[in-house]
């Protein structure tokens, strides 16, 4: 294990703590964290609105520290997948995941590794991405049907069981979309959450829809996050004189899972790609006069993370164009939070553009918006990777059609 490879994640994590205490005092952060932990976490719950800027970013820092600790004690060498898992989980720690609700699912995956007589480090990615179902931990407690404590215990048990069954479902869901949906766990989690909500509703249990969002922070977050992403680009150029050359190689890849840019093209090219992706999507949100809320920042951080595992400018822009066209022609406002999130997270279909071309990517983005707007009812907001669920469905339908028309073999090689 090369410990210096952890430097990037540690520095980014310190960045979140610095933000937290730049805006709020320790007392305000502590109070905000308690508010976040005691809230329902269903889509969409913006922790910046719930607990304040300081608490939201402190929560992200705590979750990030936990992830780095898991990597370290399992002696993992940093690669693109681990970077993507870190940025995604930390990004969602601004809306839906917190330092308390992520652990039952992770423990469930750990128990599965013991059951399978395998090392937990081989399941780390499933455990972290599997925290998409973290809202299940506390949601039954808020219904007060069984009482708060029994409901919480049941929620923890359900989340642990979900973690236990996630590995085989995640492996099979990858076969369904053949690696053309980068958010594979969104599909796996969506299928589980849909079955779970179907059974809840059969017993008369349902959850209220949520839309809690922060506003008015564009100027502040624009400065903070553009600075971070520009620093990634500058740092890439400083540490690797071959960064631009290797970056051009990244732009030629399809992005299909699991295409590891960190391992294949080096640290410099990967950081350059991550930084440029972050800059592009911050500018996009501002360009359509959208709000940089907790969920939007989480989406951008997820995109940046997958800049190490499948996404780059060439394969994401066509999908983004498709989502923009769809929103423009349909009934939704282009700068509404739901559409912005669909546009950003819709880039999970980037491998379709990378494999089948720009027009196919535009089609994928076009259909993704309409599909994702109808998916949250199925899982009741329990699956935080709603766009991953929708993206998986779109890929399952489009990929065989495109493969047949273009006469390309797409069988996934494990």
- pLDDT tens-digit readout, 284-337: 999 999 999 999 999 999 999 999 999 999 999 999 999 999 999 988 899 999
Q: What is the pLDDT of residue 139?
A: 76
> Hey, what are 72's tokens?
């370290």
Confidence (pLDDT) at 173:
94
pTM score: 0.95
Q: In the predicted model, is pLDDT for residue 407 greater than 50?
A: yes
The pLDDT value recorded for residue 3 is 62
* Cβ atoms of 78 and 117 closer than 8 Å: no
Please give the DSSP secondary-structure letter assigned to residue 57: H
Token pair of 83 as six digits: 């970077």
Looking at the DSSP assignment, which residues form a beta bridge with residue 212? 45
Interval 15-38 mean pLDDT: 95
Q: What angle do CA 171, 154, 196 make, to 5 degrees?
A: 45
The neighbour count for residue 252, using CB atoms within 10 Å, is 9
Tell me the mean pLDDT in the region 106-130. Answer: 96
Q: What is the structure's pLDDT at 318?
A: 98
The better pLDDT of the pair 164, 377 is held by 164
């Amino acid at each position: 294990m090369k410990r210096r490879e952890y430097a990037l994640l540690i520095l980014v994590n310190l960045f979140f703590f610095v933000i937290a205490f730049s805006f709020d005092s320790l007392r305000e952060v502590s109070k905000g964290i308690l508010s976040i932990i005691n809230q329902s976490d269903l889509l969409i719950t913006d922790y910046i609105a719930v607990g304040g800027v300081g608490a939201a970013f402190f929560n992200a820092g705590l979750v990030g520290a936990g992830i780095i600790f898991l990597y370290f004690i399992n002696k993992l060498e940093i690669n693109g997948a681990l970077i993507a898992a870190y940025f995604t989980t930390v990004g969602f720690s601004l809306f839906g995941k917190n330092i308390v609700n992520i652990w039952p699912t992770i423990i469930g995956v750990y128990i599965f590794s013991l059951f399978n007589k395998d090392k937990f480090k081989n399941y780390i990615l499933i455990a972290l991405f599997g925290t998409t179902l973290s809202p299940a931990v506390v949601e039954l407690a808020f219904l007060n049907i069984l009482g708060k404590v029994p409901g919480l215990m049941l929620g923890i048990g359900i989340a642990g069981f979900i973690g236990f069954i996630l590995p085989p479902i995640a492996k099979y869901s990858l076969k369904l979309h053949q690696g053309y949906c980068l958010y594979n766990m969104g599909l796996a989690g969506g299928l589980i959450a849909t079955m779970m909500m179907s059974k809840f509703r059969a017993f008369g249990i349902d959850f209220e829809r949520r839309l809690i969002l922060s506003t008015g922070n564009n100027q502040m977050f624009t400065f903070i996050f553009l600075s971070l992403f520009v620093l990634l680009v500058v740092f890439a150029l400083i540490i690797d004189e071959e960064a631009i050359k290797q970056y051009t190689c990244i732009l030629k890849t399809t992005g299909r899972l699991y295409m590891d840019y960190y391992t294949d093209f080096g640290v410099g090219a990967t950081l350059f790609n991550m930084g440029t992706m972050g800059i592009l999507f911050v500018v996009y949100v501002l360009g359509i006069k959208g709000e940089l809320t907790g969920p939007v920042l989480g989406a951008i951080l997820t995109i940046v993370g997958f800049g190490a595992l499948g996404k780059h400018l060439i394969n994401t822009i066509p999908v983004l164009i498709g989502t923009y066209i769809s929103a423009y022609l349909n009934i939704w406002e282009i700068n509404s939070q739901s559409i912005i999130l669909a546009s950003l997270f819709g880039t999970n279909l980037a491998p379709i553009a990378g494999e089948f071309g720009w027009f196919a990517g535009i089609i994928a983005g076009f259909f993704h918006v309409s599909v994702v707007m109808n998916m949250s009812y199925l899982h009741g907001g329990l699956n935080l990777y709603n766009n991953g669920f929708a993206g998986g469905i779109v890929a399952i339908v489009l990929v065989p059609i495109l493969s047949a028309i273009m006469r390309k073999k797409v069988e996934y090689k494990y």
